């Protein structure tokens, strides 16, 4: 950087800023003039450095966010050191690097730690809690209130405007009510079937077909054979008549394994109908309790207790 000077003789010339505050000779008349002191140029904070710190904080505990913050911070440091205009913000960029490295290390530690599933489960419970409504009476039932059951502790009604499990959400259409567990991976639903005109012991095919329905196509060019969400396996594990059905009603139970998009589910299917001679005049109440195979053994007693609470007050 140079300093512009004007001599009393009218000559104009420049000297290096190294001579600031010193007397220099005019190249024309040799008159000595003191060069003024140079003021420091204004400093400007690097916006990249600030942005890198924001990304590091927002994206903490995510590998993508940490990597993006570290890259932005490195670019900011390079620009601060090479910019012609004096930039500041090195501290912000270094802080972003530290946060991103610590966040990435913590994320990897959580993912590979033996107890990582506990943290994932805690996060899942928080998401599930926002999808269910636990208010209201402990008993829920069909739309006509003819079939009632007691909710398991902590369970709630799935809110219609919240997301459900994408692997089975289409199988939950047109149910009278759907209950969800606090963990968000177990459900109980009820449906009143008014068009059942077959004996209850032959009703298995009806409830099975509801689970075999292919999912919606991913796009117009897809077919069911190429849809990754199509059922991969349907297996009937058990079928039995319920000896302890509510008074005046007959009941059947089926246990079904259904594999969906690489994920296995187990279903407890129960059907109840009022005892009588005219099958067509008596609706069937279908209750389904289901959960992923890995979780089913743990939650089965809780779901069965709810199923055993079924009653028909009308």
Give the per-residue pLDDT at 217: 55
Backbone angles phi, psi at 200, to 5 degrees: -65, -35
Strands 148-150 and 139-141: antiparallel
Q: Which of 85, 102, 86, 100 is nearest to 51 (CA)?
A: 100
CATH topology of domain 133-214+229-308: Protein Transport Mog1p; Chain A (3.40.1000)
Which comes out higher in pLDDT, residue 298 or 170?
298
pLDDT digits (tens, 9 = 90+) for 181-207: 987 789 999 999 876 677 888 888 888
Arithmetic mean of pLDDT, 270-283: 79
Q: What percent of the chain has pLDDT over 90?
A: 26
Token pair for 30: 């040799």
Domain boundaries, the chain: 2-34, 44-113, 133-214+229-308
């Amino acid at each position: 950087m140079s300093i512009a000077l004007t001599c009393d003789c009218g000559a104009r010339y420049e000297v290096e800023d190294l001579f600031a505050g010193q007397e220099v000779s005019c190249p024309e008349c040799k008159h000595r003039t003191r060069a003024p002191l140079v003021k420091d140029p204004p400093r400007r904070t690097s916006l990249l450095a600030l942005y890198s710190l924001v990304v590091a904080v927002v994206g903490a505990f995510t590998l993508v966010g940490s990597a993006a913050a570290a890259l932005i911070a490195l670019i900011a440091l390079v620009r601060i050191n090479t910019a012609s205009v004096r930039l500041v913000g090195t501290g912000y960029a270094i802080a972003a690097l530290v946060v991103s490295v610590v966040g990435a290390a913590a994320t990897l530690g959580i993912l590979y730690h033996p107890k990582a599933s506990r943290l994932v489960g805690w996060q899942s419970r928080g998401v599930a809690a926002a999808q269910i409504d636990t208010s209201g009476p402990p008993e829920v039932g069909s739309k006509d209130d003819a079939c009632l059951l007691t909710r398991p502790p902590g369970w709630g009604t799935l809110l219609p405007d919240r997301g459900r499990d994408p692997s089975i959400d289409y199988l939950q259409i047109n149910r009278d009510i759907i209950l969800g567990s606090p963990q968000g991976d177990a459900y109980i639903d009820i449906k009143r079937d008014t068009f059942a005109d077959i004996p209850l012991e032959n009703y298995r095919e009806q409830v099975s077909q509801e689970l075999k329905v292919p999912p919606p196509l991913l796009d117009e060019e897809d077919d069911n054979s190429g849809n990754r969400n199509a059922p991969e396996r349907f297996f009937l594990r058990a079928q039995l008549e319920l000896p302890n059905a509510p008074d005046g009603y007959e009941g059947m139970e089926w246990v079904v394994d259904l594999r969906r998009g690489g994920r296995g589910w187990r279903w407890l299917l129960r059907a109840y109908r009022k005892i009588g001679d005219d099958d067509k005049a008596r609706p069937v109440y279908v209750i389904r309790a289901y959960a992923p195979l890995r979780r089913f053994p743990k939650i089965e007693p809780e779901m069965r207790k709810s199923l055993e609470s079924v009653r028909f007050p009308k």
